[in-house]
Chains A and B, each alone.
Chain A
């Protein structure tokens, strides 16, 4: 929901970044206010996932220029774990499997770490068990997943649900969902989207990184941005996604070119 008076949660200006010495982001600008849902679309290689990883602080990505202000703080001053505690959450495109670490142990550790940072009460294993089971209902998850190793042997859909479960537990200020729709069948997509919708409110914000319009039928964005070659080249309302679906990404370029041509004439 757009409200011009809302507080700015994320302010990205002129962001440039490299991976393995290759420049991927080339001057990205984005402003996100509380209550808003932003979709970032674009072809593979346009830099969407790189941007998502940089927000979370992945060490493999090197920022070479630009600024990111998150909640009045310089995001680059914060380590990944400090970002998480401050309310940045990345739902991974490919959630990591961690054999030997029980999911419930991991979830409780993460939950209590963030809770204590916020000066709130930590939960003991029994209390947490009740709490997490309640949250799992939101995502129609089988409680058996608590006793298994983190993401180990989970199907694609189960991993994505486990990501959104973590989002539900950590209650972030800014959630970045990196291709959360990929690999989901339509039922799983509906469940995951429904979970996300229940977690969004006027005080937080969500960035959906996606390739397809499909997810946006279920989570309706306030803004749709199109990325190409490391920059956002077009921003519009939710109807942009439909047009992209109908005409393909080339349509934007064609559109731009005709405008340019028009000026020349």
Chain B
């Protein structure tokens, strides 16, 4: 068992942390989180939740917290801009960059970074750090302890933000750790679409440790698209916690393309009656990449509905991990839940570990789940070849189509196009 004191990654971070002198609520939050870090250790493959994901390479890297962000050239990131998004918040190494951001004069919502919105009221203080529990998760605790900036979005009651809000998190410095953070408060009856997008301009390794909290009040409706396109040396640990009140709807699509080792934890709590959630995902990895997705959909109240389609396309010697836990608590009667994990292995050395995990404590529910792991269908390949397509074209087309089913669920056409191009380029290499 590795302990906090024997881990140079953690050691370095701990040494760089200074107890804040002031005692604002925010300082208090950071201090509490750091206290938690002291009681926790880096997870190892001995831990059930990390059984297939060995993050020991991270433990050997003394990457300090990223400080003042260097300048990013617009030309380096412009290709990731989305034409539909009238509002864009850009963070470089976790810190807000107003020059690259565009906070449209938006009467429908309060959108900005933490320091600019702190004086506007106590809403943020009431929510920040409340959903993302740091007591039991060292990465959430570290993110909270080093919390300096955050994207904050408040959609007031019954307001709709009609265009997507693009949160662009750029990694610029290498061999550092950055702590992107996002808080979304969707008040009753509100409606918004958020794109959480991780990119980099560099090729050397870095660590991203992100935390997202979303709170949906009664009948709020949020679309959440997460795109992780880090470089193939990077480490990426992402945590997202979503709370759904009565009859609210949360639809998410997560696309994982990058990082040497990545882990995404999505926790959705259906804490009000009749809440609805869709949590779809596509992982496309190759080489020696490892991508681990852990989702936890917690049906705590009756009449909830959840839908999940998770797909992995694994090429080369890469390794995909999916753990999809669905909890139906004793009073969550008439829950309707489906989960499907479909996986495509493109080589003999590619590997998948998939684990649907249903824990049902109510007796009147409808729950279905399934998992498939396979290679491309020989009959489909033959059919395409019998029409003149080469073996390679046939394989590429089928691989592309496999991923396309998830990408099609993204409601933003420019992002869909960007991703289709990436997937097409990736599937044509093999």
Contact = CB atoms under 8 A, between A and B. Distances in A.
Contacts of A80: 382, 385-386
B131 interface: no
A58 interface: yes
Contacts of B133: none
A170 B401 contact: no
A56 interface: yes
Interface in B380-411: 380, 382-391, 393-394, 397-398, 400-402, 404-405
B380 A113 contact: no
A84 B387 contact: yes
A229 interface: no
Interface string A94-117: 011011110000100110011001
Q: Binding site of B, secondary structure by majority: helix, strand, loop or mixed?
A: helix
Contacts of B400: 100
Interface in B88-134: none
Given A81-B388, A90-B386, A110-B389, A99 B405 contact: yes
A85 interface: yes
Nearest to B405: A100
A83 B393 CA distance: 16
A229 B383 CA distance: 27
Interface residues of B, number: 23
A79 interface: yes
A99 B393 CA distance: 16
A244 B147 CA distance: 84
Nearest to A83: B386
B71 interface: no
Interface in B271-313: none
Nearest to B377: A96
A8 to B, nearest CB: 23
A47 interface: no
Interface string A28-72: 000000000000000000000000000011110000000000000
Interface residues of A, number: 28
Contacts of A96: 377, 379-380, 382-383
Interface string A72-97: 00000001110111000110100110
A106 B383 CA distance: 11
A200 interface: no
A78 to B, nearest CB: 11
B378 interface: yes
Nearest to B383: A96
Given A96-B383, A98-B398, A98-B401, A109 B389 contact: yes
Contacts of B378: 59
Interface in B218-269: none
B386 A109 contact: no
A81 B391 contact: yes
A149 B389 CA distance: 17
Interface of A: 56-59, 79-81, 83-85, 89-90, 92, 95-96, 98-101, 106, 109-110, 113-114, 117, 149, 166, 170
Given A80-B382, A80-B385, 10 more contacts: A81-B389, A81-B390, A84-B385, A92-B386, A98-B384, A98-B401, A101-B401, A110-B384, A110-B388, A110-B389
12 contacts: A90-B386, A92-B386, A96-B382, A98-B380, A98-B384, A100-B405, A101-B401, A109-B389, A109-B393, A110-B388, A113-B390, A170-B388
